[in-house]
């Protein structure tokens, strides 16, 4: 302990600040995922250059690929719209719905898509590269849950049987 009653190292204080920063980033990312609050939060973040300040901060540059760094990367990704993002936020809502479905049913295999920013998931090229890495059973199950294929489609019966065994 120092003379003023605090612990000698700043390690505990730094960990506490990192925890608070992580919680704040979690709140901002949650607000960005809601179509109702997204425009207001984006304009605030843009007006104050929050993502630039975070990317240039010492905590971001010196941190290992931990939670705070991933959250800042997600913030930067969600601020940058993909090629398919339209003005009314439809693409963002669709990306968010896909992320929720994947989080619920295929979190392990599709983790990169689940935790990416909505702007990145809305980018068809980036998403196509990630979908190409999925197994055929996962792809079929996601398409079935999105109602892109019928349950009784004869061209998918072999894939359906293989997915059921897995």
Give Cβ neighbours of residue 113 (< 8 Å, ≥ 6 apart). Answer: 98, 99, 102, 121, 127, 130
φ/ψ of residue 19, rounded to 5? -65, -40
Tens of pLDDT along the chain (166 residues)?
A: 444 444 445 667 777 777 788 788 888 888 887 778 887 888 788 777 787 788 787 777 776 667 777 778 777 777 665 444 455 567 777 888 888 888 889 888 888 888 887 778 888 888 999 999 999 888 888 888 888 877 766 666 555 555 555 5
How far, in Å, are 23, 45, 79, 140 from residue 16 at the CA level?
11, 24, 27, 44
């Amino acid at each position: 302990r120092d003379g003023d009653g605090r612990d000698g190292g700043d390690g505990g204080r730094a960990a506490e600040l990192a925890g608070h920063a992580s919680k704040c980033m979690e709140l901002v990312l949650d607000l960005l995922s809601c179509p109702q609050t997204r425009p207001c939060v984006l304009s605030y973040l843009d007006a104050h250059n929050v993502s630039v300040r975070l990317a240039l901060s010492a905590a971001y540059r010196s941190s290992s690929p931990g939670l705070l760094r991933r959250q800042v990367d997600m913030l930067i990704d969600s601020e940058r719209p993909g090629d398919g993002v339209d003005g009314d936020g439809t693409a963002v809502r669709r990306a968010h719905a896909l992320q929720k479905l994947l989080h619920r049913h295929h979190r392990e295999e599709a983790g990169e898509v689940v935790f990416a920013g909505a702007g990145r998931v809305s980018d068809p090229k980036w998403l196509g590269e990630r979908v190409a890495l999925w197994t055929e059973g996962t792809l079929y199950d996601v398409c079935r849950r999105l109602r892109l294929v019928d349950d009784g489609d004869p061209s998918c019966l072999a894939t359906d049987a293989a997915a059921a065994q897995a």
